[in-house]
Amino acid sequence: MHEVAKRDSNQVLLFLDPMHQIHNNENDYAWQLKGRDNTKLVKANTGRRRVNIVGAINPVSLQPTVVITEQNCCEELIHAFLYEIKEQYSKATTICVVLDNARYQRAYSVLNLAHELGIDLVYLPPYCPNLNLIERLWKFFKKKVMKNKYYQSFEEFESKIANFFKEFDKHKDELKTLLNFKFGIIKAN
């Protein structure tokens, strides 16, 4: 798959998955000395508001496509995202999108729109998120934007998320090692 994508720049392969981030801190692992006296207080927000990021990553060019919204993920949001993909890759002869089996992504209207736009949707087997490369990007995103970070206001939180994608190119060297086609194969005995 990767070699074909390198040879023909008119063929685009994308890995898509939405991510939902709640406006609250997300603590990473930490050690502390035993006992109440050594406990550290962690600031928190209500966690009631969230940002939904519908994203796709091109593993060859490391170019993301994102829609950031407070709207819940639904068929209509996926429609808007497919239009965004088509606009970004308007010169592509083939667009193949790998995604999971979320109900709103398998809706007939989504399938019909993808067909109309000339986008091939390839659904992963159930319970195989490790086969979707964008999951690696989301883990990296959380490390850079979410883990052990506190954002006083929701606006600051949204701004940090948007800036991550505006400044995406500065992360490309780190992402080259993560967003590759090397998958670990586990053999059952």
* Beta carbons within 10 angstroms of residue 143's beta carbon: 12
Q: Where are the domains of the chain?
A: 2-25+44-178
CA 143 from centroid of its chain's CA atoms? 13
Mean pLDDT, range 153-171, rounded to an integer: 93
Split at pLDDT 50, 70, 90, the class of 18 is very high
Q: Are 95 and 120 in contact (CB under 8 A)?
A: yes
Tell me, what's the pLDDT at 169? 93
- The residue that leads in pLDDT, 60 or 22, is 60
Rounded (5°) CA angle 141-27-174? 25
CATH superfamily of 2-25+44-178: Ribonuclease H-like superfamily/Ribonuclease H (3.30.420.10)
Tell me, what's the pLDDT at 21? 85
Split at pLDDT 50, 70, 90, the class of 53 is very high
Mean pLDDT, range 38-62, rounded to an integer: 82
Over residues 58-91, the pLDDT tens digits come to: 999 999 999 999 999 899 999 999 999 999 999 9
Tell me, what's the pLDDT at 47? 66
* pLDDT at 9 > cutoff 50: yes
Q: Round to whole Å and give the CA distance between 52 and 76.
A: 14
Lowest mean pLDDT among 18-22, 61-65, 128-132: 128-132
* pLDDT at 39 > cutoff 80: no
Tell me, what's the pLDDT at 29? 63
Tell me, what's the pLDDT at 109? 96
Rounded to the nearest integer, the mean pLDDT of the chain is 86
User: Which of 174, 160, 12 shows the shortest CA–CA distance to 82?
Assistant: 12
Q: Name 108's Cβ contacts closer than 8 Å, sequence gap at least 6.
A: none
Tell me, what's the pLDDT at 139? 92
3 state SS of 66 = strand
